[in-house]
Structure 1
Amino acid sequence: MKLLLSTTNALNKWLKADLPRFPAKEGQRVGVHVLASDEQALCWQLYIIDNAYKSRDKTIIACEANSRFTVFIPVDIKLTLDELATRLQMEWQYSLAETLQQLRPCQIVRLLCY
């Protein structure tokens, strides 16, 4: 499964990445695209905020496109795209494992059937 990350300009600049923009259709605002996860790709929208004015401590906010499940990733050093993708996957899997651990077995079966 592919991991598709859609980042804000601020995050793109912070990462010092030269990520391509989605092409805009005629009459469509630049940067406005519908993301949807499917069997082929898991899509996340990513933002970055300063924890304090001009602080190097920041928080990356990752929101999954379909479920709107949100993960907060605190950072204090620049990450590469691969490091960001790995960190996001780890945080998401950890949150999923924690959620499943809190559910009773019958709830897990019901959750996995949907």
Structure 2
Amino acid sequence: MAVAAIAPSRLAALTKARCAIFKTAYNHTSARTGANYFRARLRGPSMVTYYPQDIDLCMPTFAHEWPELALVHVAEAQRVWDVDMKRARGKGAPAKAKDESQSRRTQRRR
């Protein structure tokens, strides 16, 4: 029983016709083209929807949202303590002028 083999040129012509009909790239040398990456589903939109956008995960927000927990923002407490210590030594920021006569800028111009 003899099996008739199909000529390679006929298979190439069939592949070329199939590519023309289905609008795919004719790659007769089987070179790597990266076409499978272009056909793949995009990952960006699902990554964007995976992570929530509007959540602000910071200590002041938590302390403001749930005051009953009495949360302490350590860095802010340290900053306030440092400012108080500087003010006690006379090294703090100068007091703001209440009116035009207390302003150092207007006193300097005279």
Give the TM-score normalised by structure 1: 0.22
Structure possessing the higher radius of gyration over alpha carbons: 2
Q: Which has the higher contact order (CA 8 A, sep 6+)?
A: 1
* Normalised TM-score (structure 2): 0.22
